Amino acid sequence: MRRRDFLKGAAVLGAGSLPFIRSLPAAAASNGTVVVAMGQTINSLDIHRSGTNRPSYQVAVNAYDRLVSFGTKTLPDGSLSYDYSVIEPEIAESWETTEDGSAIIFKLRRDGKFWDGSPITAEDVKWSFDRAVTLGGFPTVQMKAGSLEKPEQFEAVDEFTFKIHTIRPSKLTVPDLAVPVAIVINSKLAKANATTDDPWATEYLHKTPAGSGAFKVARWEPGQQLVYERNDAWTSGPVPEVKRVIVREVPSQATRRALFERGDIQVSFDIPNKDAKELSGTDGMTIHSTPIENAIYCLCPNLTFEPFKDKKVRQAIAWSVPYADIFQTAAYERGVPMWGGSSATPADIAWPQPFPYSTDLDKAKALLEEAGYKDGFEVPLSIALDQSDWMEPTALLVQENLAKINIKATIEKIPGANWRTASLVEKRLPLHLETFGGWLNYPCYYFFWAYLEGHLFNSSNYRNEEIETLTNETLHIPVDHPDYAPKIKRMIEIVWDEVPRIALFQPALNVGTRDMSGYEYWFHRQLDARGFEA
Amino acid sequence: MGPRTKLVLYRTLQALPALVGVVIVSFILTRMLPGDPAAYFAGPAATEASIAEIRATMGLDRSLPVQFLHYVQDLVVGDLGNSLSTGQPVVEELTRRLPASLELTLTALLLSCAIALPLGIAAAVHQGSWIDHACRGLVTAGVSLPTFFTGIVLVYVFYYLLGWAPSPLGRLDFVYLSPPEVTGFYVIDALLDGDVETARGALSQLVLPATTLALFTLAPLARMARAAMLQALSSDYVRTARAAGLGEGQVVLGYAFQNAMLPVVTTLGMVFSFMLGANVLVEKVFSWPGIGSYAVEALVVSDYAAVQGFVLAMAILFVLLNLAIDIIYTLVDPRTREG
Residue B334's pLDDT is: 63
Average pLDDT of span B176-196: 84
Q: How far apart are CA A290 and CA A523, in angstroms?
A: 10
On chain A, the residues whose CB falls within 8 A of the CB of B148 are: 1
Residue of A nearest to B45 (CA): A138
Instruction: Choose the weakest-confidence range: A137-151, A180-194, A295-309, A396-410.
Output: A137-151
* Contacts within 8 Å (CB) and 24+ apart, B125-128: B125/B229, B125/B233, B125/B252, B127/B230
Instruction: Choose the weakest-confidence range: A150-164, A507-521, B319-333.
Output: B319-333
Residue A189's pLDDT is: 96
On chain B, the residues whose CB falls within 8 A of the CB of A437 are: none
Residue B33's pLDDT is: 73
On chain A, the residues whose CB falls within 8 A of the CB of B156 are: 6-7, 10, 258
Q: In this structure, is the dihedral angle defined by the CA atoms of residues A28, A33, A36 and A42, taken in order, positive or negative?
A: negative
Average pLDDT of span A162-172: 94
CB A384 within 8 A of CB A343: no
Kindly report, residue by residue over A331-361, the tens digit of the pLDDT. 999 999 999 999 999 999 999 999 999 999 9
On chain B, the residues whose CB falls within 8 A of the CB of A136 are: 49-50, 53-54
Residue B337's pLDDT is: 55
Q: In this structure, is the dihedral angle defined by the CA atoms of residues A395, A400, A406 and A409, taken in order, positive or negative?
A: positive
**Does residue B25 belong to any structural domain of this protein?**
no
Q: How far apart are CA B100 and CA A436, in angstroms?
A: 38
Residue A246's pLDDT is: 93
Under an 8 A CB cutoff, do A136 and B50 touch?
yes
Rounded to a whole number of angstroms, the distance from the CA of A259 to the nearest CA of chain B is: 7
Q: How far apart are CA A471 and CA A423, in angstroms?
A: 23
Which of B86, B160, B170 is the closest to A258 by Cβ? B160
Which of B50, B159, B300 is the closest to A137 by Cβ? B50
Kindly report, residue by residue over A107-130, the tens digit of the pLDDT. 999 999 999 999 999 999 999 999
Look up the CATH number of the domain holding residue B224. 1.10.3720
Average pLDDT of span A288-297: 94
**Other CB atoms within 10 A of residue A321 CB:** 23
On chain B, the residues whose CB falls within 8 A of the CB of A12 are: 157, 161
The fraction of chain B above a pLDDT of 90, given in percent, is: 6
State the span(s) of chain A assigned CATH 3.40.190.10. 30-247+511-521
Q: How far apart are CA A284 and CA A515, in angstroms?
A: 7
Q: pLDDT band at A9, cuts 50/70/90? A: very low
Helix pair angle (B3-32, B304-332), 10° resolution: 160
Residue A6's pLDDT is: 37
More confident residue, A22 or B188: B188
Rounded to a whole number of angstroms, the distance from the CA of A38 to the nearest CA of chain B is: 11
On chain A, the residues whose CB falls within 8 A of the CB of B88 are: 222
Rounded to a whole number of angstroms, the distance from the CA of B4 to the nearest CA of chain A is: 42
Instruction: Choose the weakest-confidence range: A14-28, A99-113, B218-232.
Output: A14-28
Q: How far apart are CA A143 and CA A533, in angstroms?
A: 32
Phi and psi at A73, nearest 5°, equal -135, 160
CB A380 within 8 A of CB A409: yes
Residue of A nearest to B57 (CA): A50
Under an 8 A CB cutoff, do A249 and B287 touch?
yes
Residue A478's pLDDT is: 92
Kindly report, residue by residue over B53-84, the tens digit of the pLDDT. 778 877 778 888 888 888 888 888 888 887 87
Q: How far apart are CA A249 and CA A228, in angstroms?
A: 14
- What does each C-alpha distance from B20 to B89, B90, B315 come to in angstroms? 22, 19, 10
Average pLDDT of span A46-67: 92
Average pLDDT value over all residues in chain A:
90
CATH superfamily, region A297-506: Dipeptide-binding Protein; Domain 3 (3.10.105.10)
Among A197, A267, A425, A434, pick the best mutation site for testing chain B contact (most B Cβ within 10 A): A425
On chain A, the residues whose CB falls within 8 A of the CB of B81 are: none
**Does residue B257 belong to any structural domain of this protein?**
yes
Residue of A nearest to B176 (CA): A24
**Does residue B57 belong to any structural domain of this protein?**
no
Longest dimension (CA), chain B: 85
B236: Cβ–Cβ under 8 A, 6 or more apart, which residues? none
Average pLDDT value over all residues in chain B:
83
Write the burial class of residue A350 (CB in 10 Å: 0-12 exposed, 13-18 middle, 19+ buried).
exposed
Task: Using the predicted structure, report yes or no on whether residue A59 has a pLDDT greater than 70.
Answer: yes
On chain B, the residues whose CB falls within 8 A of the CB of A261 are: 160
Task: Using the predicted structure, report yes or no on whether residue A29 has a pLDDT greater than 80.
Answer: no
Among A181, A250, A294, pick the best mutation site for testing chain B contact (most B Cβ within 10 A): A250
On chain A, the residues whose CB falls within 8 A of the CB of B45 are: 138, 141-142, 145, 449, 456
Under an 8 A CB cutoff, do A222 and B87 touch?
yes
**Does residue B44 belong to any structural domain of this protein?**
no
Rounded to a whole number of angstroms, the distance from the CA of A387 to the nearest CA of chain B is: 13
Residue of B nearest to A222 (CA): B86
Q: How far apart are CA A533 and CA B261, in angstroms?
A: 60
Average pLDDT of span A134-158: 91
Task: Using the predicted structure, report yes or no on whether residue B135 has a pLDDT greater than 70.
Answer: yes
The fraction of chain A above a pLDDT of 90, given in percent, is: 78
The fraction of chain A above a pLDDT of 70, given in percent, is: 94
On chain A, the residues whose CB falls within 8 A of the CB of B293 are: 223, 251
Q: pLDDT band at A31, cuts 50/70/90? A: low
Residue A72's pLDDT is: 94
Q: pLDDT band at A70, cuts 50/70/90? A: very high
The fraction of chain B above a pLDDT of 70, given in percent, is: 93
Under an 8 A CB cutoff, do B174 and A23 touch?
no
Q: pLDDT band at B4, cuts 50/70/90? A: low
Residue B45's pLDDT is: 60
State the span(s) of chain A assigned CATH 3.10.105.10. 297-506
**Does residue B154 belong to any structural domain of this protein?**
yes
Under an 8 A CB cutoff, do A248 and B169 touch?
yes
Under an 8 A CB cutoff, do A21 and B37 touch?
no
Residue B61's pLDDT is: 81
| Architecture of the domain defined by A30-247+511-521 | 3-Layer(aba) Sandwich (3.40)
Residue A391's pLDDT is: 94
Domain enclosing residue B146, as ranges: 97-288
Average pLDDT of span A454-479: 93
**Does residue B149 belong to any structural domain of this protein?**
yes
On chain B, the residues whose CB falls within 8 A of the CB of A51 are: 41, 54, 84-85, 87
Residue A2's pLDDT is: 40
Which of A23, A24, A221 is the closest to B165 by Cβ? A23
Beta strands in A317-399 (DSSP E): 336-337, 378-384
Rounded to a whole number of angstroms, the distance from the CA of A112 to the nearest CA of chain B is: 31
Average pLDDT of span A454-481: 93
Which of B153, B159, B166 is the closest to A6 by Cβ? B153
Residue of A nearest to B175 (CA): A26
**Does residue B256 belong to any structural domain of this protein?**
yes
Residue A529's pLDDT is: 95
Residue of A nearest to B178 (CA): A221
Average pLDDT of span B148-169: 88
Residue of A nearest to B164 (CA): A22
Under an 8 A CB cutoff, do B37 and A417 touch?
yes
Residue A276's pLDDT is: 93
Q: What is the pTM of this model?
A: 0.83
Q: pLDDT band at B207, cuts 50/70/90? A: very high
More confident residue, A532 or A456: A532
Among B167, B207, B280, B294, pick the best mutation site for testing chain A contact (most A Cβ within 10 A): B167
Q: How far apart are CA B297 and CA A249, in angstroms?
A: 14
Average pLDDT of span A456-478: 94
**Does residue B112 belong to any structural domain of this protein?**
yes
Residue A8's pLDDT is: 35
Across the A:B interface, residue pairs with CB atoms under 8 Å apart total 193
Nearest CA-CA partner of A293 in A11, A38, A507, A34: A507
Residue A238's pLDDT is: 93
Rounded to a whole number of angstroms, the distance from the CA of A316 to the nearest CA of chain B is: 30
Among A3, A5, A21, A42, pick the best mutation site for testing chain B contact (most B Cβ within 10 A): A21
On chain A, the residues whose CB falls within 8 A of the CB of B35 are: 415, 417-418, 421
What's the half-sphere exposure (Cβ side, CA atoms, 13 Å) at B266? 8
Q: pLDDT band at A428, cuts 50/70/90? A: very high
Residue of B nearest to A435 (CA): B44
On chain B, the residues whose CB falls within 8 A of the CB of A1 are: 148-149, 152
Among B31, B32, B50, B82, pick the best mutation site for testing chain A contact (most A Cβ within 10 A): B50
Q: How far apart are CA A218 and CA A235, in angstroms?
A: 19
Residue B172's pLDDT is: 84
Rounded to a whole number of angstroms, the distance from the CA of B321 to the nearest CA of chain A is: 27
On chain B, the residues whose CB falls within 8 A of the CB of A53 are: 85
- The total number of structural domains in chain B stands at 1
